[in-house]
Every structure is written in structure tokens, then in C-alpha cells.
Amino acid sequence: MKREELIADDRRYLWRPYTSSEDHERKDPLVVVDAEGPWLIDADGRRYLDGSGAWWCNNLGHAHPRLQRAIHEQADRWMHCSLAGTTHEPAVRLAKELVAIAPEGLERVFYSDNGSTSVEVALKIAFQYWQQNGERKRRYFLSLPGAYHGDTIGTMSVGAIDAFSGVFSPLLFETLRPEEPPAEQGFEGVIAQIEALLESRGHEIAAVIVEPLVQGAAGMRMYTPAQLRRIDAARKAAGTLLICDEVFTGFGRTGSFWASEQASVAPDLLCTAKGLSGGALPFAATLASARLYDGFRGGKNRALMHGHTFCGNPLGAAVCLEVLAIYRDERILEGIAPRSEAIAATTARLEALAGVRRSRSLGMVAAVDLGEGGYLGELGWRVHDEARTLGAQLRPLGDTVYIVPPLNIPLEDLDRLLEILERSIATVVGSK
């Protein structure tokens, strides 16, 4: 199919995610015909560095030969059977390996197929746990301002990004949440409000849910391990559960395997997706403590009545097992230090540009705020257009531009990506 024909049919038949009809009709998408490592290759053979990591999940580069082989080998056997009444080696082995690398105390694995469902499962486990273990008053969740946990009704209820979920507010359940502090005040005000809420209403709270260290969709906002530890200490004092949504931050994105490790925080529930499958297939898991699993012991009336057709899908599980093997064999985490230094040096330099409000980095995440327009701001999109002409594909969060490249991006490609980021930003906001 020719590029023009394909774009015409895309406009005619697709309903694209997070895309206004105006943009769908007006802006030309990149037509990807191939991809390898950190590169996307378009219909004209042009190569673009994939700065948004296939929407934050491509941790090992595109078309990793070992992941391709793992999928082939499993597909040659069989592709799917359920985890209800049947079981299979890929799902069982993966659960065992995930428990071995999970933060202390997480001993059970519940599978689903995307980040949102992994969070839904965590919310349902936490809620039902208290309902059937004598603390029925614990029916609220506490989340952070700017929280993003997915796009289903339950995850939007604990989320707090008005541009995404505002219209649905009549459908959402009530969630406790500190007020958004002024941008310049940082995260300290939030922590103080969380401590106060847990002190006054802790006995009504089923769980505190956080994106540890980096609030992705809020604009790659960052807070410190010490601040995460304070949230953890306050929730422990209130006797409530902690859910770490590591859908984005897990699998090395922030420099450690799990972001919560940097704070030595051990949650009761941990959600993982995105990098779990190396960004190759839809696959997710919710890890739970033995205490939570024990709270569901008994007959049918105490079971978790939740399951998805593709829970533990063998193709997905096989690819996740290979992802873990690649992290070990290719020493993926050890490779982050030199890369994150290069990233940090660039964000520090960008801070000096006249039009840059703030910049920050952690591990393999760099973010630059160009304005205060939030998700609906247009400045980031101007940088996107500029970067496209220079050979990089970005996906800004409104006025915030960021990069989340594969963790194993070759250093020279990373330097090129950082140079494109810097030049595009300088072109759009001008230099001092």
C-alpha cells in the first residue's frame, strides 16, 4: 500500500488514541514500515530515533532478535490457552521469576493484558481484602495530584488529570487526594497533605496508590526517594496498604529495576506492564503480598472474581521470560549509568535556555517544561514537528517534552537523540 493511500485509509477508518479529529485529519503521522533498535523506519526509508520508546514501553529496542525468536518458538508450539482450569509452563515460570526479583514480600502474580487492567486488579484486591477481613470502612483510595493509572473507569477514578477524565467525573468513584500545589512549590506540600489525610482518615483508606518517583502522564514530574519513604511511613502508621504502579517506572526506566527500590519501599501490591514484555506484546502483571493472598483463602465466596481471556497468554509470558534473560545476559541495568549521565548533562544545559521553565532527569527519563499549558499546551508539539525534520520521533505531553529511549540505546544514537532534542527546543523557544 502506498503511503498516501495508507494515510487516507487511516483517516477514513481508524479512531486513533489520544488524537483529536482535527489532528487526525490535518497532521501526517509517521508511516512506520520497519523498526530496529532505537530506530523507526518510514515508508520513504527515512530513519527516526524513537524518542518516546513506542509510548514508553520499548525498553530493549525494536526487533530484538532474542525476543523475535522467543515469540517464534512459542508460536510454533501453541499460542493461547486459559489460566482457568488449565496452566502452562511460560506463565508459571514467569510468575516464579517475577517473585524472585520483586520487592520484598511480594509473592503472588495475577496476570492481565495492559497497564490499566493491572491497576484495576490491584484496586479490586485491596478493596475486597478489607471487605472480607473485618474492616469494611476502608473503602477509599488515596492518590496523588497529577496521578495517572490508566484509562478504564476504575483507574480514572484514582487518576487526577482533568484533560483525560474530567468529562467522566460523574461516573468515577470518590478518591481522596491532596490539592495540586503551585508548580514552583514542588512536592513537599503534597507530602504534608498526604500525612495529614492519613492521620485523620487513615482508618477509611483501603490503599494509597502512587507512581513511584516519576509521575509519567502528569508531565514526567519527579519526586525524591525520601518523599516516597515519607508516604510509605505515613501509610504504615495508618495501617493501610501501598500500591506501587510501576507500569512505567519498572524494568529499569528510573535506573534501578523498580523505582520503589530506590526508596527501599516494599509495597503490598505492584503493577507492571509496558517494559515487562520489552514493549513487544500486550502483557501485564499485578504482584501481591502473601498477606493479601491469604485474605482470599476459603471458598468461592472469598475468591477474586476477576479474569481476562488472555491472562498469562503463553506468547506474552514467553517473551517476558526472554526479556528477563536479556536483562541478565546483556547487563541492561549496568548500562544505564553512562547513558543517564549524558541525559542529565543535556537537561542541565537546557535549563539555561530562555524559554525553558524547568528540566529534570532520572535514569532513562529526561523532561523539559516549556510552558504552563499542561497537557493541552502546544509548545511541545512544535518541538515534535521540528524534531521530526531532524530525524527523531517525540510524543510530548502538551508543553512538556521528554525522551524515554530504550535502555540499551547505543551511546552514539543517544547523543544524536539528545542533540536533536536540544536543537528542536532551541529553535522553538530561542536561546538566551
Question: Which range of residues in 2-10, 108-116, 285-293, 360-368 is near ligand PLP by CB under 6 A?
Answer: 108-116
| Nearest distance in Å: CB 29, ligand PLP | 19
Q: Any contact of residue 150 with ligand PLP (CB under 6 A)?
A: yes
Pairing of strands 241-245, 205-210: parallel
Could you confirm whether 236 is annotated as catalytic? no
Closest to ligand PLP by CB, 245 or 369: 245
How many residues sit close enough to ligand PLP to count as binding (CB under 6 A)? 13
Q: Any contact of residue 310 with ligand PLP (CB under 6 A)?
A: no
Could you confirm whether 300 is annotated as catalytic? no
DSSP conformation class of 340: H
Question: Which range of residues in 109-117, 183-191, 397-405, 408-416 is near ligand PLP by CB under 6 A?
Answer: 109-117
Burial class (CB in 10 A: 0-12, 13-18, 19+), 104: exposed
Q: Write the binding mask 228 to 247 for ligand PLP: x where contact by CB under 6 A, - elsewhere.
A: -----------------x-x
Q: Any contact of residue 114 with ligand PLP (CB under 6 A)?
A: yes
Question: Which range of residues in 134-142, 147-155, 364-372, 409-417 is near ligand PLP by CB under 6 A?
Answer: 147-155
Of 38, 51, 103, 115, the residue at the interface with ligand PLP (CB under 6 A) is: 115
For residue 186, the Cα-to-chain-centroid distance in whole angstroms is 21
For residue 330, the Cα-to-chain-centroid distance in whole angstroms is 23
Active-site choice (50, 129, 223, 274): 274
Closest to ligand PLP by CB, 207 or 429: 207
Question: Which range of residues in 98-106, 143-151, 191-199, 328-336 is near ligand PLP by CB under 6 A?
Answer: 143-151
Q: Any contact of residue 356 with ligand PLP (CB under 6 A)?
A: no
- How far is residue 281 from each of residues 55, 92, 266, 353, measured CA to CA in Å? 13, 18, 27, 39
Q: Any contact of residue 119 with ligand PLP (CB under 6 A)?
A: yes
DSSP letter string, 71-131: HHHHHHH-----SSS---HHHHHHHHHHHHHSSTTEEEEEEESSHHHHHHHHHHHHHHHHH
Of 149, 230, 339, 395, the residue at the interface with ligand PLP (CB under 6 A) is: 149
Closest to ligand PLP by CB, 138 or 149: 149
Cα separation, 12 vs 26, whole angstroms? 13
Cα separation, 184 vs 170, whole angstroms? 31
| Nearest distance in Å: CB 248, ligand PLP | 3
Q: Any contact of residue 374 with ligand PLP (CB under 6 A)?
A: no
Q: Any contact of residue 52 with ligand PLP (CB under 6 A)?
A: no
**Beta pairing partners, 34:** 41
| Nearest distance in Å: CB 416, ligand PLP | 26
| Nearest distance in Å: CB 389, ligand PLP | 28
Q: Any contact of residue 369 with ligand PLP (CB under 6 A)?
A: no
Asked if 133 and 302 count as a contact pair (C-beta separation under 8 A), the reply is: no
Of 111, 130, 187, 248, the residue at the interface with ligand PLP (CB under 6 A) is: 248
Asked if 222 and 177 count as a contact pair (C-beta separation under 8 A), the reply is: no
Asked if 80 and 313 count as a contact pair (C-beta separation under 8 A), the reply is: yes
DSSP letter string, 141-162: EE--TT----SSHHHHHH---H
Could you confirm whether 148 is annotated as catalytic? yes
Q: Any contact of residue 216 with ligand PLP (CB under 6 A)?
A: yes
Cα separation, 382 vs 423, whole angstroms? 12
Asked if 266 and 104 count as a contact pair (C-beta separation under 8 A), the reply is: yes
Run of H or E including 401: strand 400-403
Closest to ligand PLP by CB, 94 or 238: 94
Which residues of the shown chain bind ligand PLP in the complex (CB under 6 A)? 114-116, 119, 148-150, 211, 216, 245, 247-248, 273
Residues marked active site are found at 18, 148, 245, 274
